[in-house]
Amino acid sequence: MKKRIILSPSLLSANFGRLEEELFALEEAGLKWVHWDVMDGIFVPNITFGPPVIRQLRKKSKLFFDVHLMIDKPERFFEVFTDAGADLICFHAEASLHLERAVQKVKDLGVKVGVALNPATPLCKIKYLLPDLDMILLMSVNPGFGGQKFIPFTKEKIKELRQLLEEKQLSVDIQIDGGVSPQNIGELASLGANIFVSGSAFFNFPPYGQRYETFLKALKDKGS
Ligand code: DX5
Ligand code: ZN
């Protein structure tokens, strides 16, 4: 099954003092998605932004808001993030005790739903939920910071997950987040990932239009 390919730049590596301009620059560069890393200082050892920031910037941008919640007991906040303008809510399997109920809660709010797995969390955790999901996020670094090194065994997870989805004939997106760059994106796509988050390897190399081209070219060269 041929999957759409999306690059979702992570604002974690953008200039937080100029988020409006950064979003505008992404749109100008032809990007369709933007990745919001929400951190609470509990689930991960770092804090970023919350719903008020997203709400203000929602008014300024047409990009698809891909919201990655790295917060404890995320179900407490699904409504407020949806209301702020999230198009997709992705939360961590490790952070939510009643996972099936949490997934249904996001669906009931009328936005896309994704579940994220930390590098060491096995795929079996979400096996029975697959038909209900729009996306699975496989973390390829331990969440909390940008600019970390890609953890190699994640490749095996991508391959296994894509196989599982194909066996079940499910058209679910596989997002990969952490250490993604033009150097490895082609290989990750060939293993079955189709939505790529990139923070430092994207924002540290302006202009964004050219950088986007570099990522797309790397995908094309690998035949994705
Ligand atoms: C890490 C975040 C990522 C991060 C990726 O906790 O979920 O989205 O921004 O950054 P890079 O691409 O620099 O590894
Ligand atoms: Zn993320």
Checking if the pLDDT of 224 tops 70, the result is no
pLDDT in tens, 175-190: 999 999 999 999 999 9
Of the candidates 37, 40, 66, 173, the residue annotated as catalytic is 37
pTM of the model: 0.98
143 ligand 1 Cβ < 6 A: yes
What average pLDDT does the segment 134-139 reach? Answer: 98
pLDDT in tens, 56-83: 999 999 999 999 999 999 999 999 999 9
52 ligand 1 Cβ < 6 A: no
pLDDT in tens, 144-171: 999 999 999 999 999 999 999 999 999 9
Which pLDDT value is given to residue 2?
72
What average pLDDT does the segment 119-130 reach? Answer: 98
Q: How far is CA 113 from CA 61, 100, 198, in A?
A: 21, 12, 20
CB 150 within 8 Å of CB 140: yes
92 ligand 1 Cβ < 6 A: no
Which ligand is closest in space to the CA of residue 68? 2
Q: How far is CA 135 from CA 2, 88, 167, 171, 217, in A?
A: 15, 9, 17, 9, 24
* Residue with CA at minimum distance from ligand 1 atom 1: 143
Closest ligand 1 atom to residue 140 Cα is 14
Active-site residue flag, 177: yes
What average pLDDT does the segment 199-221 reach? Answer: 97
Checking if the pLDDT of 138 tops 80, the result is yes
pLDDT in tens, 18-40: 999 999 999 999 999 999 999 99
Closest ligand 1 atom to residue 181 Cα is 12
Which ligand is closest in space to the CA of residue 200? 1
